[in-house]
Amino acid sequence: MGPSALYSAAMMKKFAGLATVLVSVLALTGCGASGAQAPTRHIKQVTDGVEGQSGSVYIRDFLLVAQPDGSAAIVGTFINEEATTDSLTGISVSGISATLSSPSFNLVQNSPVIFAGDSANATGTVPGLNAVPGNRLNVVVSFSNSPSVTLSALVRAKSDYFANVGGTPAPSASPTATK
């Protein structure tokens, strides 16, 4: 066995070790599973709110925020991507009709109707729902042209990010005493 054969065997061992490390890194980072079937391409919901669609009307980040008086405030965005105007005509939760700030909302192309938040241009409350935070409730959204959509919306507590959502103030954590 000559010196060149020894050198080749050492190089082959080193190459095999580097190849093993490279394959391990690709497997651990998920880089080896790319393409249309990659698991990360199938993630849809990245918020607590659910998403839905009826025709060209998209519903984004829809959820309910339980209020201290037993009602629930509606949070969500409705967007029509079609040139033909549609209208949001009603929302009901577990069979209870929501009280909306307008009898209907025109869904003009790319002009969102937003319930709750700093950019809100609509409000909605479901009276007497007595929803329990953490539960999911069936919501039916009706439109004038597009078919109705049924969603399974999460109920959030009126705290943290949602503390200012709805017309009823959140209960304070510790009452202040007056002297």
The pLDDT profile of the chain, 179 residues, written as one tens digit per residue, is 555 555 666 666 766 676 677 666 666 665 545 556 655 555 555 567 999 999 999 999 999 999 999 999 999 999 999 999 999 999 999 999 999 999 999 999 999 999 999 999 999 999 999 999 999 999 999 999 999 999 999 999 999 999 999 865 555 444 444 44
Q: Which residue has the tokens 């497997």?
A: 27
- CA 143-146-151 angle, 5° bins: 70
Residue 114 host element (H or E): strand 113-115
Q: What is the DSSP letter of 40?
A: G
Are 110 and 167 within 8 A, CB to CB? no
pLDDT at 176: 43
Name the β-bridge partners of 73: 65, 125
pLDDT at 142: 98
Q: How many Cα neighbours within 13 Å face the side chain of 51?
A: 8
Domain boundaries, the chain: 50-162
* In the chain, alpha helices (H): 3-29
Whether pTM exceeds 0.85: no
Q: Residue 107 contacts by C-beta under 8 Å, 6 or more apart in sequence?
A: 57, 78, 79, 80, 85, 86, 87, 88, 113, 143
pLDDT at 3: 54
pLDDT at 11: 67
pLDDT at 20: 74
CATH classification of 50-162, choosing from 3.20.20.70, 3.30.930.10, 1.10.10.410, 2.60.40.1890?
2.60.40.1890
